[in-house]
């Protein structure tokens, strides 16, 4: 995941750690509904607060202890896969676009 807050903010990559922190959502019905929809459709959902992207909900395997494997796409494949933009975009908007495209690729790979 890549995160930035404005045109001059540093871009940070988050690496999947060995153990993912868990949040019990049993008592949060709206989050349960979203999580069940993601699992049923096998399509990630980007959670936003207004225009700000906050989190990406992605489907996982049936085993709760299985780690998420890294994407199979190489950096070289990703670099040339996005056409040039016709207008200038803010770093925040570019991050949103990249996050959405990554979520779609992850869903296609069945991760």
Least confident of 7-11, 73-77, 86-90: 7-11
With bands split at pLDDT 50, 70 and 90, how would you rate the model's confidence at 7? very low
Q: What local confidence, expressed as pLDDT, does residue 42 receive?
A: 87
What pLDDT is stored for residue 34 in this prediction? 92
Q: What does pTM read for this prediction?
A: 0.41
Q: Which residues contact 53 (CB under 8 A, 6 or more apart)?
A: 46, 47, 95, 96, 99
pLDDT band at residue 16 under the 50/70/90 scheme: very low
47 forms beta bridges with 55
25 alpha carbon, distance to own chain's centre: 19
Check if the beta carbon of residue 102 is closer than 8 Å to that of residue 71: yes
State yes or no: pLDDT of 19 exceeds 60.
yes
pLDDT at 76: 65
* Cβ contact 59:106 at 8 Å: no
């Amino acid at each position: 995941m890549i995160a930035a807050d404005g045109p001059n903010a540093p871009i940070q990559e988050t690496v999947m750690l060995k153990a993912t922190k868990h949040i019990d959502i049993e008592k949060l019905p709206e989050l349960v509904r979203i999580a069940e929809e993601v699992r049923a459709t096998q399509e990630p959902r980007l959670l936003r607060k207004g225009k700000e992207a906050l989190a990406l909900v992605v489907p996982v395997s049936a085993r709760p202890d299985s780690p998420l494997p890294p994407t199979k796409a190489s950096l070289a494949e990703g670099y040339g896969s996005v056409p040039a933009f016709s207008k200038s975009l803010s770093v925040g908007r570019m991050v949103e676009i990249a996050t959405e495209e990554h979520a779609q690729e992850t869903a296609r790979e069945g991760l």
